[in-house]
Structure 1
Amino acid sequence: MLTFPSLGPNAYLLGVAGSRRMLDTPALVLDRAALERNIAKMAATANDHGIGLRPHVKSHKSARIAHMQIEAGALGVSCATLGEAEAMIEARVPSVLVTSPIVSSNKLRRLVGLAEEAGPRQLMVVVDDARNVAELAVHAARLAYPLDVLIDYHSGYHRTGVVDERAALELARAIVESGSLTLRGVQAYGGHLQHIEGRTRRDEAAAQLRSTVAALVASLESAGMPIEIVTGVGTGTHDMDAAAGVFTEMQPGSYVFMDAEYEHVLAGDGRAAPFETSLFVQSTVVSTQAPSWVTIDAGTKAFATDSGLPVAARGVGGPSEYAFFGDEHGRLTVDAAHRPSLGAHIEFVTPHCDPTVNLYDRYHVVDGDTLVDIWPIEARGRL
């Protein structure tokens, strides 16, 4: 059998008709056409509302997908970690924003080295603490140009971010006075808003954040601090925030793939989900000895476990219920009329796409029922 170590054990199936149903599993499967439509739809939404699009790499961790987003009109990308940013800049993805504060001397050295590699205005980072600003300024002094920074606002979640307008103004002054940093704007990412059930409730919560952010920006600008960028916005609030005129750019991530949680949230109130499911985990039935269920080769090492259970999407003819059955195995309960046979391949919608992707080395890209490409997940594990 032909082997392609860098592409994994399924490389010999590339271009083979029907190869989607023949993969060595567990395998992360990506429907290329659905992915492309999702990327185009979010880009069109941003363009229609005159708002910038800076998609979050934390969802896909892929240089290939990041370049597809840029080609569709995104102005840059957002990265949750310094490691993700390094992977994107290594792949020559332009205009990278690190959306978490970078703390400690070693990481600050890495950050500034990355800024040097990327070039002027190609890397930004958020800050929420004056001590961090001072340390960052010392390291950034080695650059031939100022390092761009944004003030991180807590957005009601209080994971990171300054707590009020006064703290934001004090931090803005520290940035302006640093000599080696440039204040570009504000980040206010309401991640906790994205999965609120019920569009009306989600819209009300998003509107409250927008009102607070607008007041914060007005306060900074009235103090002589020009705010060029106001960034935030996720998949769950993308359309309502894009239309409101408060944010200058959006940071949605999961829209490229969708998952069981987002499908549930965005298909509420009788509305169809605005994006298609493009990401699946394919498994194989490895035992049919139990009378009420079959055992598959996809357990807790194949799916993120923080957001419910996988949902069978292909390969099962009737209703089914998945349960984790150990590290390597899952239990799929199916009625007798639709019981899959030994060796059957079953694809699942992931419970939570971002951390599920982080469990895999590569995407198996399919066009219909044919494996057409295999893409590395370059930022996998770049925590």
Structure 2
Amino acid sequence: MSDDLTLHAHLIGRQGSRADLNTPVLVLDRDALDRNIAALAALTARHGVGLRPHAKTHKSVDIAKCQLAAGALGVCCAKIGEAEALVEGGVTGILITSPVAALRAIERLAALAKRAGGLMAVVDHPAVAERIDAALDAEGAALDVIIDIDPGIARTGVASPEAAVDLARTIATLPRLTFRGVQFYCGSQQHIEDFAERRAAIVERTAYLQSAIDALAGAGFRPEIVTGSGTGTHRIDLDLGVFTELQAGSYIFMDKQYLDCDLTGERDVPFETALGVDARVVSANHSGLVTIDAGIKSLSSDGGAAVVRRGAPESAFFAFMGDEHSALIAPDIGKQLAPGDPVTLTVPHCDPTVNLYDHYHVVSGDTLVAIWPVSARGRAR
């Protein structure tokens, strides 16, 4: 048995058992999760748009199946390793959103295409498309592909509408590949905190996307699928009406980065905070500071500081104190909290925080109701 199951399996279903979890521990509120999944599923359905949420956020077979049960077309995976893990768990309709280019990875992609229902992958270079086609031929498999379009950050994607057309022409010559559409993910715009500023940026980028769609259509390659968007821009993208499906991922959890954003233009928060890290005070020898047992090994540090959600003053300032520890700083906090006291934190950035843990500890209220594996943890290749 894994360490998490050894420590905690006996607590499942016992009233109030969250209080007995060994910390630090990744905690998922099942009721809030279900409401978040239902909320975006209903919103996209009202707009007549599909939902293919990004599983790079949760890396979980269990959560992916919850999303599929709520009407999702499938899920997205950032890497082929994530896709392999989810396919092993019975998840279908996967789109791999990062180019698969290395020879060994292409061989794995071809093998996965042979056994995975509804698999798709992005391409952004004619030579890579040709390599994938050859690998598929060797496997006796076929694959639907999406042309990735660079939204302006020069990370992945074809660099112009003309390059998109050239790539589509190459794909049309390859018997094992079928062109299905385009991907356009504006990652750098997702966390612009002001709604009006974010909307203006997306309107400008969507005009560029439309120019690529028009170029493809004019050359006889009208995209059936236009996929992209994210939690930060989902409302704007639905309003603009260009995407046929959304890839939002973090909406199911809501981390500090997205809580800092006005997602709707009305300063309301359309999704609940479902994910957290439970920690405990381990030292309280100073009046203005206590030390907790969750540090850089337990919380991603790329998204800034965590915030206190429960167990300590909300005004307490969080500061990393190394690999294993962090500090909560507030007037007289060392007199209010004692060693062993529990604290719940909202994570700075959910995706890399999840990747630090083997399991979700799923709770309803204060009762542990399940332990779900982070199925694709570490599957970054």
Partner of 2:353: 356
Post-superposition offset of 1:142: 3.0
Matched position secondary structure for 1:155: coil
Partner of 2:277: 281
> Aligned-pair RMSD on alpha carbons?
1.5
CA distance, structure 2, for counterparts of residue 125 and residue 155 of structure 1: 18
* CA offsets 1:39-76 (integer angstroms, 9 cap, x no match): 00010111010001000000000000000000001001
CA distance, structure 2, for counterparts of residue 220 and residue 140 of structure 1: 25
Report the residue type matching 1:123 in the other structure: L
Partner of 1:308: 304
Q: Is 2:35 the counterpart of 1:37? A: yes
Partner of 1:103: 101
Report the residue type matching 2:360 in the other structure: Y
CA distance, structure 2, for counterparts of residue 328 and residue 5 of structure 1: 18
CA distance, structure 2, for counterparts of residue 96 and residue 4 of structure 1: 28
Show structure 2 runs of 5+ residues with no match.
none
Give the one of 209, 223, 234 matched to 2:205: 209
Give the one of 340, 343, 346 matched to 2:343: 346
Give the one of 168, 179, 184 matched to 1:183: 179
User: Do the aligned residues in 2 keep the contact of 1:300 with 1:324 (CA within 8 Å)?
Assistant: yes
Q: Is 2:158 the counterpart of 1:154? A: no
Pair 1:318–1:67, CA change in 2 (3 A): closer
User: Do the aligned residues in 2 keep the contact of 1:197 with 1:268 (CA within 8 Å)?
Assistant: no
CA distance, structure 2, for counterparts of residue 272 and residue 64 of structure 1: 29
Deviates more, 1:135-144 or 1:164-173: 135-144
Q: Is 2:190 the counterpart of 1:218? A: no
Matched position secondary structure for 2:59: coil
User: Do the aligned residues in 2 keep the contact of 1:280 with 1:348 (CA within 8 Å)?
Assistant: yes
User: Aligned residues, how many?
Assistant: 379
User: Do the aligned residues in 2 keep the contact of 1:109 with 1:139 (CA within 8 Å)?
Assistant: yes
Q: Percent identity?
A: 48
Partner of 1:247: 243
Pair 1:138–1:267, CA change in 2 (3 A): closer
Pair 1:155–1:274, CA change in 2 (3 A): same
Report the residue type matching 1:238 in the other structure: H
Post-superposition offset of 1:335: 2.1
CA distance, structure 2, for counterparts of residue 225 and residue 27 of structure 1: 49
Matched position secondary structure for 2:361: strand
Report the residue type matching 1:91 in the other structure: G
Post-superposition offset of 1:267: 6.1
Post-superposition offset of 1:226: 3.0
Pair 1:24–1:247, CA change in 2 (3 A): same
Post-superposition offset of 1:180: 1.5
CA distance, structure 2, for counterparts of residue 106 and residue 324 of structure 1: 39
> TM-score normalised to the size of structure 2?
0.96
Report the residue type matching 2:48 in the other structure: G
> TM-score normalised to the size of structure 1?
0.96
User: Do the aligned residues in 1 keep the contact of 2:235 with 2:264 (CA within 8 Å)?
Assistant: no
Partner of 1:320: 316
User: Do the aligned residues in 1 keep the contact of 2:114 with 2:141 (CA within 8 Å)?
Assistant: no
User: Do the aligned residues in 1 keep the contact of 2:297 with 2:356 (CA within 8 Å)?
Assistant: yes
Pair 1:124–1:301, CA change in 2 (3 A): same
CA distance, structure 1, for counterparts of residue 316 and residue 325 of structure 2: 16
